[in-house]
Structure 1
C-alpha cells in the first residue's frame, strides 16, 4: 500500500493518526491474522498436556473451548490496554498482545497428566506472575544491564528447544497416541507435512498478505486435507453456544510455591521481551527511540492484562514480536489500526462456536504449524545470539547454561530427590539456563581484548576479539 492511499508519510509515523475506516479495518484484521494461530495454540498445548480428551465426546472438551475463547478475548482486552491505555497502564502504541509461548515450558510440568483440576494451580501462578510483571514496570529500564543478548538470546533459544518436541509429538498423532500403532503413521505425518510445505511455499514465494498469513493459510490447507481424509469432526460446533461471556474463576484458583515462583521468574523474561518489542515498534514505525514512559506503560499493561486473564481462566499475555515486523513492513504506526484488531479479537472471544471450530483442528495438522512456529522461535534466539561478542568468556557462559538447562529438561529424573517445587522449576530448562547465564554474566570478569585465541573442541576457534569467523 502506498502512503497516499492511507495517509501522508508524517501521518503514518504518528501513533495517534487513524487511517480512514475502509483502510483501518483490513489493516487491523491483518494484525489479528499475523498472531491468531500463535495466540490460540498455547491453550491447546496446555489442555493436551493436562490430559484433556481431544475426542468430540470428551467431557473436557468444553473446557478447552472455553480456554481458546478466553485466549482471544483477553488478548483483545490486553491489546486495548496498550493502544488506548488506562492511567499509567499502556504504552499508547500499536502493540498487539497475545498468549505467550514463553510460559509453556513452565506450565506443562505443572499440569502434566493431572486433568482439569490442575488448571487452578496455573491460574494462581498467572495472577501472581501478572502482578509481579506489573510491579517490574517501576524499574524495568534499570534492569536491562543484566540482560545482554547473550542472556536474552539463550533464553529465547531455550524456549524454542523446549517446545520442538511438542510439535513432533503432535505431528505424529499427539501425546495420548504415543505407543499406539497409529502413532507416527503416514496419514498423521501427511497432514502435518501439508501444513509445513504450504507454509514454506507462501512464506518464500508469496508477497504481502499471503506471506504474512502463511502459517494460518498452511493450517487451513492442512485442515482441508484432513477433512478429505475424514479426520475432522465438527460435532462440537453445533453443540457450542453462539454467545458467552467470560466466567470469573472458571477453573478456580490455587496458589502453590512452584507456580508462583515459576511465573514470576518468567514474567521477568517476558518483561524484557516487551522492552525489545516497544523499542522495535518506535524505531521501525516512527524512527525514534522508545521513551521511558512508553516502556513503563507497556510493562504495566503486560502485567495487568496477564493478571486479569488468569482471573477469568485465560493464559499469560505479552507483546507479540511478529506484529512488530508487520508494522515495519506496512509502515503504518497507527494505534487506531491495532485497536480495530483488538475489537475483532474480543468479538471472536465472545463466540464459543469459533473456539469449537479451532478445537476441531486435528492434532496432526496443528503439529505441522507448531513445528514451523517453534522452529522460528529457535531461529529468533539464534539471531539474537549473533550480536554476542563471542570470546572465550561468553562461550563458556553459554555452554554451561545451555548444557545444564537443556540437560535437566531432557532428563528430569536426574533431580528426583529434590522437593517437588524445586524439581518442577529446575526441569523446566529455561529457568536454570536463564539463572546460570545471568549470574555468570554478572560475576565473571570480562576478558582482555588482547588475549590469544583458544582452540576448542571440534576445531572451533574462540576469537579473542569476540567476532565470529567470517566466510570467504
Structure 2
C-alpha cells in the first residue's frame, strides 16, 4: 500500500485500516443523512401523505436504501458505470421544486414515473458527456463548484440555527444560543482535531465533532429517542408502489433538471479528484459518474425513491480529510443500505438534531466552495475571465437569492433559473464561447 509523504490516501484503490475506514465511512453517512431524507419528507407532504404515516416512512426508507445502492454504482461500478471514486450519492434537492409541484397536482405516480424516464435519459448522457467536456474547462467547472458551495452554505446556517423548513425557521427557538452552542462545538472540535492531532483522530475529525455535538445536544434535552422505539426492525420494498403514469410535461421538467444534475456531477467529480489527489478527473471517470447518476435515479424511482445525485458535502469530507479511498465511501454505502432495510438504525441517526449536523456541514459546504476556488486558481485572471466569473456568479446566485425576480417565467424554467447551479453554468459556458481571448 502506497501513501503520499503526508500520509494521505490519494489513490482511490487504496484502503485505510478497517479501524480507520469504518468511522470514515460512517462520517460520510452522517454528513449527508439529513439532506438525503429531507427531499422525501417535502415531496411526501406535497403529495398529501400523512406526516409519520407508513407511506411517508416508506419514501424515507427508500431514500436511504437507494442512496446506498447508487453509491455502490459509483464506488464499485460495473462496466462503464461508476467513476470508481469516493463519490457519495444521495437524494437530490435540485428536483424538489419540480417533483413537489407534480406530486401536488398529478400525484406521486406521475412524479415517480417521470423520474424513471428522466433517470434513463440521464444515464444515456454518460455516452456523450466526454464529447461535451470541452464545454467545461477549469473556468466553468470551478465556477460550478464554487456556486454549489455558496448555494449550500445558507442551508448549513439554517441547520446550525435549528431549522431548514420555513415553519422551523419561524419558531422562537430558531437561532437560539443553545442551537449555536451545539453547532459551534462541532466546528471547534472538528477543526481542533484536524489540525492539532494526527492519525485516526485527525482523519475522523468531523465524525468526532458530530459525536461531541450530539452529546451536548442530549444534555440540552434536544434529543428524542421516541422515533427509535417506534421504528420497525425490517422494511420491505415494492416495485412501482404507485403504479406507472406518463405525463409529457412532468417528464420534460424532470429531464431538464437531470441535465443540471449531470453538470453538478461533473463539477463534483472534478472537485473530488482535485481535492483528494490534486489532479483533473479523466473522461472515463466523468462518463462513469454520469452513468451511475442516471442509473441510480431510474432504479430508485422504480421502487419509490426520488432522484439521486452526487453529494457535494461529501466532496468536502474528501477535501477535509484527504482520504481519497473509494472503499471508505463503499462502507458508507453499505451503512445506508442497512439503514434503509432496518428502520431502527436509520431512526438512531435521524434522532441527531439539525444544529449538530449544521455544525458539520458549515465546514464541509465551505470546503466545497474552497475546492471551486482551488480550480479557479488554474485560470489566468485577466479581464475577460474576471468578467465571466463576475457575471456568472451574479446571475446564478442573484436569481437564487431573489427568486421573485423571475416569478413570471414558466414553472420549469423558473425552477432552473433559481437553482444557482444552472444559470451559473449556462452563463459561464456561453460567455466562455462568445468572448474573445485576450492577447
Task: State the distance in 2 between where 1:396 and 1:290 align.
Answer: 26
Alignment of 1:113-128 (within 5 A): 123=112, 126-128=115-117
1:139-178 Cα shifts (integer Å, max 9, x gaps): 2222221111211111112112222222222222313233
Are positions 1:360 and 2:351 aligned together?
yes
- 8 Å contact from structure 2 (residues 138, 379) kept in 1: yes
Instruction: Report deviation, 1:390.
Output: 0.9
Q: CA RMSD in A?
A: 3.8
Task: State the distance in 2 between where 1:40 and 1:165 align.
Answer: 17
- In structure 1, the partner of 2:149 is 160
- 8 Å contact from structure 2 (residues 140, 429) kept in 1: yes
TM-score, L = length of structure 2: 0.80
TM-score, L = length of structure 1: 0.75
- The worse-fitting range, judged by mean Cα deviation, of 339-348 and 184-193 is 339-348
Instruction: Report deviation, 1:133.
Output: 2.9
SS of 1:99's partner is strand
1:145 to 128, 134, 137: 134
Cα distance change of structure 1 residues 394 and 61 upon mapping to structure 2, 3 Å threshold: farther
1:177 to 143, 157, 168: 168
- In structure 1, the partner of 2:387 is 396
SS of 2:89's partner is strand
2:296 to 295, 301, 305: 305
- 8 Å contact from structure 1 (residues 415, 423) kept in 2: yes
Are positions 1:76 and 2:68 aligned together?
yes
- In structure 2, the partner of 1:262 is 257
- In structure 2, the partner of 1:43 is 36
User: Unmatched 5+ residue regions in structure 1?
Assistant: 5-11, 449-472
Give the greater-gyration-radius structure (CA): 1
- 8 Å contact from structure 1 (residues 77, 346) kept in 2: yes
User: Unmatched 5+ residue regions in structure 2?
Assistant: 4-9
SS of 2:69's partner is helix
SS of 2:232's partner is coil
Are positions 1:439 and 2:406 aligned together?
no
Alignment of 1:4-19 (within 5 A): 15=13
Task: State the distance in 2 between where 1:62 and 1:218 align.
Answer: 33
- 8 Å contact from structure 1 (residues 25, 337) kept in 2: no
Matched pairs, number = 421
Alignment of 1:184-223 (within 5 A): 184-223=175-214
- The worse-fitting range, judged by mean Cα deviation, of 424-433 and 161-170 is 161-170
Are positions 1:349 and 2:372 aligned together?
no
Task: State the distance in 1 between where 2:62 and 2:228 align.
Answer: 17
- In structure 2, the partner of 1:423 is 414
- 8 Å contact from structure 1 (residues 77, 342) kept in 2: yes
1:28-84 Cα shifts (integer Å, max 9, x gaps): 52452342123323224435655969xxxx823766654554344324323433455
